Amino acid sequence: MISGSSRKWRVPALALFAIAICVGPTRIAIAAESGQEIFKSKCAACHTIGQGILVGPDLAGVTARRDEVWLKRQIKEPDVLLDENDPIAIQLLLEADDIPMPPPDLSDDEVAAVIDYLKSTEQQETVVIGLPAQYIPTLLIGAAALIALTVVGLRAGRKKVDVS
C-alpha cells in the first residue's frame, strides 16, 4: 500500500516530465523558424531549397552531403575557404560561374539557426505523415490533465455515501 505522502510527488513529477519532453522539440522548432527568417533575408536571393540552381547551388540535402563544421565555415566565411584553396569551395565557385559568395555577416548563433532550418527542410521531405513537433507539448499536457482528472474521479467514486 502506498502512503498518502508518497502520492503527493506524482503530479509535480508528471508535470516536470512533460515540460522536459516539450522543451527539446520546441527549442529546435524555434531555431528552425528563426533560421528560415534568416535564410529568406540573407540567402534566398542566391539559393533555393529543392527548386534548382539560382546564382548559388540548390541547398536541398546539403546537411547530409556536407560536414557540419565545413558547412558552418562556408556559410560564415566563404571567402576564407577560397583563400585556403578548399577544393569543395573552389568547385562551388566554378559551378557559380566564378561569382563568389559574399560573407553574409551572421553570428555563430544565426549560422546554427540556418543549419537547423536546412535540416528541418530535409526532415520534412522524409516524413510524409505524423504529428508535427509543435503539437507534442499540447498533446502531453492534455494527456496529463486527462490522467489527473481520471484519478480525481476515481477517488471521488470510492467515497461511501449514506443514502438513508
pLDDT digit string, tens, across residues 72-95: 999 999 999 999 999 999 999 998
Q: Is there a domain that residue 92 lies in?
A: yes
Which position has the grid cell 508528471? Answer: 14
Q: How many residues would you count in the chain?
A: 164
pTM to 2 decimals?
Answer: 0.57
Q: Is there a domain that residue 15 lies in?
A: no
Report which of 73, 123, 67, 64 is spatially closest to residue 101, judged by C-alpha positions: 73
Instruction: Kindly give, in sequence order, each residue whose CB lies less than 8 Å from that of residue 8, ignoring residues fewer than 6 positions away.
Output: none
Q: Is there a domain that residue 80 lies in?
A: yes
Q: Is there a domain that residue 109 lies in?
A: yes
pLDDT digit string, tens, across residues 40-51: 999 999 999 988
- The dihedral over CA atoms of 131, 109, 16, 26, expressed in degrees to the nearest 10, equals -20
Q: Is there a domain that residue 160 lies in?
A: no
Q: Is there a domain that residue 35 lies in?
A: yes
- Full domain range(s) for residue 142: 27-148
Which position has the grid cell 556536407? Answer: 66
Domain count, the chain: 1
